[in-house]
């Protein structure tokens, strides 16, 4: 599909694409989720193993997914791959879930994280600072800043894809450099021999840790065999979401210079950078904070990694390293990380809604590009919905519900490589999945294992997600009769 036939402007180059991949992946998760992982597996060795397995799974997914991006480098990305593999119903269910919760919910959650950490530097932005109380709804200064940041980034991206990539390049490169600086300072100034001895003397002593919030009692259960595998599987929920959004670059296929090469390279480079960073950052955490601690501890060192205040491991490490100034420094880093992450997510997703509208499966206005060559209506509608989710206070619950659905769509997408090799055997594939069929099969098996664990042991995470997807089936048939395919 040529640039002329789509109206999109091919302005995303390789560096831009790498920053979109890495910048969209790095948000606030790396500074938070290690606390929950530490409680789920209870040892330094298994905490690092969880991050290592997440990195392996992400890289396997990206290297396999690259075949689809080179085969169909079009606006819409994963939606297009699912449509060509399984038909419009499955593709619509993906787009429906993406808009309703996955992407819009992520934008809301990251926006609120941005506002919360801004409050560390500017205390006026606090969830205790209620600006409007309607009884059924309290509007706080945190929600105000979260919505303002979403609106600002939407307006920037309305002006053209180049504007969005400039913001992404600035914030993406800044936070990657800052994270490497954090690694250096942590290893040079923060290393504590006593903590290292505690954390690394019993690397594989796995145990789950459960805190009763009412009584403060801690229950520790030794893990082995199947229980250990379940613990690892559930622990990977947080690390996988901290590593997600690596596929978003595929949504912008019609805006990328030499997309058949650039998309594949950017996913490989971006996911590799983030994977290495995440593992190294967790090693730094374990050289500064004891893994185990006391939830009633009076300082960050006594609370440990497992019971860092509000699970904010990053700020706990900063507190130990340099007190209040270092904590503010980490907060600024997280502000940069979340702002850049949201820019990448806001930029990418409307291309999916554009492709859906072209197929007659979404509002026809979303199938149009504005004068700057971007899907302006799709950006605006996404902004409104994400802002409403900021107000609802329920977006984090919704994100929990679709963890299963997200993995399910990834499984279906990677399996689509096998389907399309059979149904489109002669189609040009400038890039073929490395290690085919082993590497794609490895990703499918790992993701399927986690889905199975969620279905059995975390029904609150899996069944609501399935219901949310299933509700899309009658919506598909209603929408399919109302809208018509948009030509051109």
Q: Where are the domains of the chain?
A: 14-481
- The pTM (predicted TM-score) of the whole model is 0.86
Neighbours of 477 (CB within 10 A): 12
Separation of alpha carbons 483 and 475, rounded Å: 12
The strand pairing partners of 132, in sequence order, are 139
Per-residue confidence (pLDDT) for residue 5, from 0 to 100: 47
Tokens 């706990």, residue? 316
Q: Which helix (H) or strand (E) covers residue 221, if one does?
A: strand 218-222
**Coil, helix or strand for 306?**
coil
Separation of alpha carbons 438 and 440, rounded Å: 6
**Coil, helix or strand for 141?**
helix
Distances (CA, A) of 398 to 3, 100, 105, 212, 314: 37, 9, 7, 24, 25
Pair 112, 149: CB distance under 8 Å: no
Per-residue confidence (pLDDT) for residue 348, from 0 to 100: 86
Which class does domain 14-481 fall in?
A: mainly alpha
Separation of alpha carbons 312 and 320, rounded Å: 13
Per-residue confidence (pLDDT) for residue 399, from 0 to 100: 64
Rounded to 5 degrees, what are φ and ψ at 328?
A: -65, -40
Counting runs of H as helices and runs of E as strands, what totals does the chain give? Answer: 20, 4
**Coil, helix or strand for 87?**
coil
Per-residue confidence (pLDDT) for residue 284, from 0 to 100: 92
Separation of alpha carbons 471 and 466, rounded Å: 9
Per-residue confidence (pLDDT) for residue 481, from 0 to 100: 61
Per-residue confidence (pLDDT) for residue 216, from 0 to 100: 74
Pair 117, 334: CB distance under 8 Å: yes
pLDDT in tens, the chain (488 residues): 343 345 677 888 888 889 888 888 888 788 888 998 999 998 999 999 999 999 999 999 998 988 898 888 777 888 999 999 999 999 999 999 999 888 888 888 889 889 988 988 898 998 889 898 887 788 899 999 999 999 999 999 999 888 888 888 888 888 788 888 878 877 877 788 888 998 998 889 989 888 877 777 788 888 999 999 999 998 998 898 888 888 888 777 778 888 888 888 998 999 999 999 999 999 999 999 999 888 888 888 888 899 988 788 888 888 888 777 878 888 888 888 889 889 888 988 898 999 888 888 888 888 888 888 888 999 999 999 999 988 876 665 666 677 788 889 999 999 999 999 999 988 888 888 888 899 999 999 999 999 999 888 888 878 888 888 899 999 888 876 666 666 55
Q: In angstroms, how far is CA 145 from the centroid of its own chain? A: 21
**99 secondary structure, DSSP code:** I
Per-residue confidence (pLDDT) for residue 2, from 0 to 100: 40
């Amino acid at each position: 599909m040529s640039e002329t036939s789509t109206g999109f402007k091919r302005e995303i180059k390789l560096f831009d694409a790498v920053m979109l991949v890495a910048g969209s992946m790095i948000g606030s998760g790396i500074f938070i989720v290690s606390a929950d992982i530490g409680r789920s597996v209870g040892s330094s060795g298994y905490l690092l193993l969880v991050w290592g397995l997440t990195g392996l799974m992400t890289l396997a997914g990206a290297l396999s997914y690259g075949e689809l991006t080179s085969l169909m480098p079009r606006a819409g990305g994963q939606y297009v791959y699912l449509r060509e593999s399984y038909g419009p119903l499955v593709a619509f269910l993906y787009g429906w879930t993406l808009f309703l919760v996955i992407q819009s919910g992520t934008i809301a959650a990251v926006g609120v994280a941005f506002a919360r950490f801004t409050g560390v530097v500017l205390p006026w932005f606090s969830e205790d600072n209620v600006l409007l109380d309607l009884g059924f709804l309290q509007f706080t200064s945190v929600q105000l800043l979260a919505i303002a940041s979403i609106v600002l980034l939407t307006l920037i991206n309305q002006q053209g894809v180049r504007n969005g990539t400039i913001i992404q390049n600035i914030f993406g490169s800044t936070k990657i450099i800052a994270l490497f600086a954090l690694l250096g300072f942590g290893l040079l100034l923060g290393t504590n021999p006593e903590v290292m001895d505690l954390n690394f003397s019993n690397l594989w002593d796995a145990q789950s840790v459960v805190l009763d919030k009412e009584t403060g009692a801690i229950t520790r259960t030794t893990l082995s065999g199947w229980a250990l595998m379940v613990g690892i599987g559930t622990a990977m929920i947080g690390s996988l979401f901290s590593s997600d959004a690596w596929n978003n670059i595929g949504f912008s296929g019609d805006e990328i210079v030499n997309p058949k090469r650039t998309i594949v390279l950017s996913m490989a480079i971006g996911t590799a950078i983030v994977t290495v960073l995440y593992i190294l950052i967790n090693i730094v955490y374990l050289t500064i904070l004891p893994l185990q601690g006391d939830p009633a501890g009076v300082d960050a060192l006594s609370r440990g990694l497992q019971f860092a205040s509000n699970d904010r491991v990053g700020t706990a490490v900063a507190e130990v390293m340099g007190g209040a100034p270092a904590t503010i420094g980490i907060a600024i880093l997280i502000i940069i990380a979340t702002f850049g992450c949201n820019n990448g997510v806001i930029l990418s997703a409307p291309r999916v809604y554009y492709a859906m509208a072209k197929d007659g499966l979404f509002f026809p206005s979303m199938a149009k590009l504005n004068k700057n060559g971007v899907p302006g209506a799709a950006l605006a509608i996404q902004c409104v919905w994400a802002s409403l989710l900021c107000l609802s206070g329920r977006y984090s619950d919704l994100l929990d519900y679709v963890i299963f659905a997200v993995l399910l769509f990834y499984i279906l997408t990677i399996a689509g490589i096998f389907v399309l090799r059979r149904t489109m055997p002669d189609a040009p594939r400038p890039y073929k999945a490395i290690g085919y069929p082993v590497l794609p099969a490895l990703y499918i098996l790992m993701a399927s294992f986690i889905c199975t664990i969620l279905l059995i042991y975390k029904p609150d995470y899996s069944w609501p997600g399935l219901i949310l997807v299933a509700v899309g089936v009658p919506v598909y048939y209603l929408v399919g009769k109302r809208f018509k395919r948009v030509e051109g």
